[in-house]
Amino acid sequence: EAGVTQFPSHSVIEKGQTVTLRCDPISGHDNLYWYRRVMGKEIKFLLHFVKESKQDESGMPNNRFLAERTGGTYSTLKVQPAELEDSGVYFCASSQVWNTEAFFGQGTRLTVV
């Protein structure tokens, strides 16, 4: 069974540019999460989808971040325009039921220069 897949694995962009991260969850998992780890800090929650609906977006830092989940399958996280403080590793996770273990992708390392 394929795990959670994230694209790209690395991205280096200039301040002010736009970047889109993609996550393909485990097939059949209705719950999809985005997390972020900035250097020296703990992994922090960004948002939670149930199918195509946003269940909780309390962790989204500001309106430069836009997450979508088309048809309840894959998800994208767009940062526009990117700022230096957006640098970090973005993780996607999915779970079958919302209160059980979530399985993580390998992460996308975003560097804004």
Q: Identify which range of 13-21, 43-51, 63-71, 73-81 contacts other proteins by CB under 8 A.
A: 43-51
Q: Identify which range of 41-49, 61-69, 70-78, 80-88 contacts other proteins by CB under 8 A.
A: 41-49
Q: Identify which range of 14-22, 71-79, 80-88, 103-111 contacts other proteins by CB under 8 A.
A: 103-111
Our CB check for other proteins shows the closer of 93 and 112 to be 93
Q: Is 112 left (phi over 0), alpha (psi -120 to 50) or beta?
A: beta
Our CB check for other proteins shows the closer of 18 and 106 to be 106
Q: Sign of torsion, CA 16 8 88 93?
A: positive
Residue 106: CB minimum distance to other proteins, A: 5
Residue 66: CB minimum distance to other proteins, A: 19
Parallel, antiparallel, or unpaired: how do β-strands 53-56 and 5-7 relate? unpaired
Residue 80 per-residue DSSP state: S
Round to whole Å and give the CA distance between 49 and 55.
Answer: 5
From 74, 76, 78, 103, residue interacting with other proteins (rule: CB under 8 A): 103
* CB hemisphere CA count around 54 (13 angstroms): 13
Round to whole Å and give the CA distance between 104 and 1.
Answer: 14
- Contact residues toward other proteins (CB under 8 A) are 4, 31, 33, 35, 41-45, 48, 55-56, 58-59, 91, 93, 95, 98-107
